[in-house]
A and B are shown apart, each in its own frame.
Chain A
Amino acid sequence: MKPKLNASNAVAALLCAALVLLPVYSAATGNIFILTLFTRIAIYALAAASLNLIMGYGGMMSFGHAAYLGIGGYAVGILATEGIGSGFIQWPVALAASALFALLIGALSLRTRGVYFIMITLAFAQMAYYVASALSRYGGDDGLTVYKRSDFAGLINLSDRTQFYYLCLGCLFGGLYLIWRIVNSRFGLVVQGVRSNEQRMQAIGFPAYRYRLVCFVIAGTICGLAGALLANNTDFVSPAVMYWTRSGDLMVMVILGGMGSLFGPVVGAIVYLLLEELLSQFTEYSGLILGPVLLLIVLFARGGIMGLLGRMSRG
């Protein structure tokens, strides 16, 4: 399939260009704040994109996706506390721990459907939250300060604002490319087929459960990477990143931007976090505005912002 020139693709392309050029703008204007804001946005966009893989493409409404943000973050934080500062160790551990956790949750929760699936994923994430709160050696409730960012042997300096931004952006683009390949692969078609009609997929010879489980693990692993980035970004990790409201934030980003659209979660993360930032300057009840916005999107634009753009370009 050749990429067609339409509103949603144009927006995606413009967005990519703007994200790549952002540090130039930041340096020229001396606006450091915008760079740190968009570093955070890139990280959340990656997390939302991974959720989109299971939620949008796979039809698995996981309400515990923020758990991987915490697991990836704690892997980095705990290893740093124990004196292992190398990113070459920290990051693979973060990914492996997230994958393992996803395998465990997925193996149990994917036997259920609908509301039960939502509740089980939520329950597991809350368990992870309470376990982290009980880790008194690693800060418990108060969270864990990461005194030194992951060390990549001089290859890249994570403490440099611009380098770290490009690392996050690179991870986001890499993640999106990976998801794009997966979605169009044999595996991806099976997962989307199961979302559409599981009985039919079983009847033509696909063991649906296995494919869904592997998809669930891939998504968890990508989100674990976002978690490792997040801990480095804030120099801190706390149980709060795993709280269910954080999982809700990720879901909102995906729905806002457009479920099952590759760039939807990126657009969703940008709009959501910008709105949050903007509104917090005027009121502490930003939810009062964000809530109705989400309601309107769900009611009138089923495909989110990207879906809206797609319909506009079709006239």
Chain B
Amino acid sequence: MADSLAEPLLRVDNLVRRYGGITATDNLSMEVLPGELHAIIGPNGAGKTTLISQLTGQVMPNSGTIRFAGRDVTSLPSYKRSRLGLARSFQITSLLKDFSAIDNVALAAQAHDGHSFRFWGNARKERHLRDTARAALERVGLGKRADIVVSQLSHGEQRELELAVALATKPQLLLLDEPMAGLGVTESARMVALLKELRREVTIVLVEHDMEAVFALADRITVLVYGRVIACGVPDAIRKHEEVKRAYLGEQHAVTRHG
């Protein structure tokens, strides 16, 4: 359990991001403490992915600040944030489709192993990059699928590979954007088991629609509605929170039933 007196690993203050007339992130502030698994939930269109993208630098905020590990990273490009130890997985799988699984992971390891202006040696023969990659693949259960080209992997395997790629960058903070999206029951269960292990090693921010998984995993939950934080607290408090029930849980359960 996270120590609430600890210095936050990630601190977001008054973040605003507008798209035309829509405010996707509306004066949002939140903290992620070292060691916790912090879930972000909210109905569709609450601005969860937009928030994650601002945290990792794919999207720049209109105003507000993002501090990571005591450093202002608000205007840093995404590759620099990655080097500081911020890693993300994408909601819509975003991999190098024409590369093998192990190439995808080894490249992530390579990105954090000095610069890549090396023009001569065969990168696929660099033992330590391949070993790191293989370990990350084993970790997510893809050890036997290392040499398969990504486009030949199943959807579930691609979701696991997303995680392996993020892990290979040895992150301090792992931002997972709906890692369970589109997974079957058994695959979801495997992902939850995996996240239970990972949370012991790395701080995690988890955006997820699967409520069962969220309440099973999270130390704390932040609830977003229309880009605003309407509640933040431990799972039990969130469950009982009146505004959350009204704005989110009822609707969400309805959505799950139909889906």
Q: Which residues of A contact B (CB under 8 A)?
A: 1, 181-182, 184-190, 192-193, 196-197, 199-208, 211, 214
Chain B CB within 10 A, most for which of A189, A208, A214: A189
Is the beta-carbon distance between A186 and B121 smaller than 8 angstroms?
A: yes
Q: Which listed residue (A185, A200, A204, A205) contacts B119, Cβ 8 A?
A: A185
The smallest C-beta distance from B6 to any residue of chain A, in angstroms, reads: 26
Q: Which residues of B contact A206 (CB under 8 A)?
A: 79, 111, 116
Is the beta-carbon distance between B98 and A196 smaller than 8 angstroms?
A: yes
**Cα(A199)–Cα(B165), bound, Å:** 14
**Cα(A74)–Cα(B107), bound, Å:** 41
Interface residue B139 (Cβ < 8 Å from any Cβ of A): no
**Cα(A20)–Cα(B211), bound, Å:** 68
The smallest C-beta distance from A182 to any residue of chain B, in angstroms, reads: 5
Is the beta-carbon distance between A203 and B56 smaller than 8 angstroms?
A: yes
The B interface, classified by DSSP as helix, strand, loop or mixed, is loop
Q: Which residues of B contact A208 (CB under 8 A)?
A: 79
Q: Which listed residue (B87, B118, B165) contacts A187, Cβ 8 A?
A: B118
Q: 0/1 per residue, B170-208, Cβ < 8 Å to A?
A: 000000000000000000000000000000000000000
**Taking CB as reference atom, which chain B residue is nearest A1?**
B124
Q: Which residues of B contact A192 (CB under 8 A)?
A: 99
Q: Evaluate whether A185 and B82 lie within 8 angstroms (CB atoms) in the complex, with A196-B96, A203-B56, A214-B117 already known.
A: no
Q: Please name the 10 residue pairs, one residue from A and one from B, whose CB atoms are nearest each other, closest first.
A: A205-B111, A205-B82, A196-B96, A186-B116, A186-B123, A204-B108, A186-B118, A202-B78, A204-B111, A184-B122
**Taking CB as reference atom, which chain B residue is nearest A184?**
B122
The smallest C-beta distance from B17 to any residue of chain A, in angstroms, reads: 18
| A–B complex contacts, Cβ < 8 Å, 30 sampled | A1-B122, A182-B119, A185-B119, A185-B121, A186-B121, A186-B123, A187-B119, A188-B123, A189-B110, A189-B124, A196-B99, A197-B95, A197-B96, A200-B90, A201-B111, A202-B58, A202-B78, A202-B82, A203-B58, A203-B78, A203-B79, A203-B87, A203-B88, A204-B165, A204-B168, A205-B82, A205-B169, A206-B79, A206-B111, A211-B116
Interface residue B14 (Cβ < 8 Å from any Cβ of A): no
Is the beta-carbon distance between B79 and A189 smaller than 8 angstroms?
A: no
Is the beta-carbon distance between A199 and B94 smaller than 8 angstroms?
A: yes
Q: Which listed residue (B90, B95, B112, B123) contacts A184, Cβ 8 A?
A: B123
The smallest C-beta distance from A99 to any residue of chain B, in angstroms, reads: 15
Q: Which residues of B contact A (CB under 8 A)?
A: 56-58, 77-79, 82-83, 87-88, 90, 94-99, 103, 107-108, 110-112, 116-124, 126, 165, 168-169
**Cα(A184)–Cα(B119), bound, Å:** 8
**Cα(A185)–Cα(B87), bound, Å:** 24
Chain A CB within 10 A, most for which of B88, B97, B123, B126: B123
**Cα(A192)–Cα(B107), bound, Å:** 11
**Taking CB as reference atom, which chain A residue is nearest B106?**
A189
Q: Which residues of A contact B58 (CB under 8 A)?
A: 199, 202-203
Q: Evaluate whether A202 and B79 lie within 8 angstroms (CB atoms) in the complex, with A186-B123, A211-B116 already known.
A: yes
Is the beta-carbon distance between A204 and B97 smaller than 8 angstroms?
A: no
Q: Evaluate whether A205 and B99 lie within 8 angstroms (CB atoms) in the complex, with A185-B119, A185-B120, A199-B58 already known.
A: no
Is the beta-carbon distance between A205 and B122 smaller than 8 angstroms?
A: no
Q: Which listed residue (A187, A197, A204, A205) contacts B117, Cβ 8 A?
A: A187
**Taking CB as reference atom, which chain A residue is nearest B107?**
A193
Q: Which residues of A contact B107 (CB under 8 A)?
A: 189-190, 193, 201, 204
The smallest C-beta distance from B91 to any residue of chain A, in angstroms, reads: 13
The smallest C-beta distance from B238 to any residue of chain A, in angstroms, reads: 29
Q: Which residues of B contact A204 (CB under 8 A)?
A: 82, 87, 107-108, 111, 165, 168-169
Is the beta-carbon distance between B79 and A205 smaller than 8 angstroms?
A: yes
Q: Which listed residue (A184, A187, A199) contacts B124, Cβ 8 A?
A: A184
**Cα(A46)–Cα(B96), bound, Å:** 29
The smallest C-beta distance from B88 to any residue of chain A, in angstroms, reads: 6
